[in-house]
Amino acid sequence: MGSLTARLAIFLAFSPHRGFGVPCEPNVSPRRSAFQDVCQALPAYDAAFNDINMTQKVEILQFLEDKVAAALDCEELETLSPGALAELLCKPWRVEEIRVFRAIWRWHQRDFGRWEGKSKDLLNKIHLAAIPAALLQHEVLPSKLFDCALIVDALAVKIRFADSIDLFQRFIGQESLNVNVINASQGASVISGTDGEVLLSKHLFQKPRCAHHALSDTSGITIKLGTSQVINSVLVHLFDDDGREYSYYVEVSIDGISWSRIIDHTGDLVKGKVLDKIPPTEVGFVRVVGTRNTNERSKNSFHLCELQAALSE
Q: Which of 294, 313, 127 is nearest to 215 (CA)?
A: 294
Query: How many helices (H) and strands (E) are present in the chain, helices listed first?
Result: 9, 7
The band of 23, judged by pLDDT with boundaries at 50, 70 and 90, is very low
**170/257: higher pLDDT:** 257
pLDDT reading at 172 higher than 50: no
The winner for highest mean pLDDT among 27-41, 54-68, 108-122, 276-290 is: 276-290
Above 60 in pLDDT, residue 158?
yes
What was the pLDDT predicted at 144? 85
> Rounded to whole angstroms, what are the CA distances from 76 to 34, 40, 71, 107?
10, 14, 8, 10
**Average pLDDT over every residue of 18-38:** 45
The mean pLDDT of 207-222, rounded to a whole number, is 89
Mean pLDDT computed over 190-200: 94
Q: Is the pLDDT of residue 226 over 70?
A: yes
Q: What's the average model confidence in pLDDT over 231-248? A: 92
Nearest Cα to Cα of residue 309 among 243, 226, 212: 226
State how far the Cα of 257 lies from the Cα of 265, in Å rounded to an integer.
22
pLDDT mean across residues, the chain:
75
Residue type, 66: D
- Roughly how many angstroms between the first and final C-alpha of the chain, as a whole number? 56
Higher pLDDT, 161 or 238: 238
Q: Which amino acid is at 29?
A: S
- What pLDDT, on the 0 to 100 scale, is given for residue 247? 97
The backbone torsions φ and ψ at residue 93, rounded to the nearest 5 degrees and listed phi first, read: -65, 145
- Over residues 216-239, the mean pLDDT reads 92
At residue 27, does pLDDT exceed 70?
no
In this prediction, residue 20 has a pLDDT band, given cuts at 50, 70 and 90, of very low
pLDDT of residue 77: 73
What is the distance between the alpha carbons of residues 78 and 181, in angstroms, rounded to a whole number? 35
- What angle (nearest 5°) sits at the alpha carbon of residue 100, between those of residues 66 and 94? 40
119-148 burial: b if 16+ Cβ within 10 Å, else e: eeebeebbbbbbbbbebbbbbbbeeebbee
Most confident of 12-16, 133-137, 282-286, 287-291: 287-291
227 has a pLDDT exceeding 50: yes
Query: Which amino acid is present at 292?
Result: R
Cβ neighbour number for residue 286 with a 10 Å cutoff = 27
> Strand ranges (DSSP E) for 60-204?
189-192
Q: Which of 42-56, 198-212, 265-279 has the highest mean pLDDT?
A: 265-279
Would you say residue 260 has pLDDT above 50?
yes
The dotted CATH code for 184-310 is: 2.60.120.260
- Model pLDDT, residue 170: 41
Q: Where are the domains of the chain?
A: 4-167, 184-310
Q: Is the torsion defined by CA of 29, 33, 35, 37 positive or negative?
A: positive
Tell me what percent of the residues of the chain surpass a pLDDT of 90: 30
Whether 281 has a pLDDT exceeding 60, the answer reads: yes
Residue 45 near residue 60 (C-beta atoms within 8 A): yes
Average pLDDT over every residue of 194-200: 92
Total residues belonging to the chain: 313
The secondary structure element, H or E, covering residue 98 is helix 97-110
Residue 69 clears pLDDT 80, i.e. is over it: no
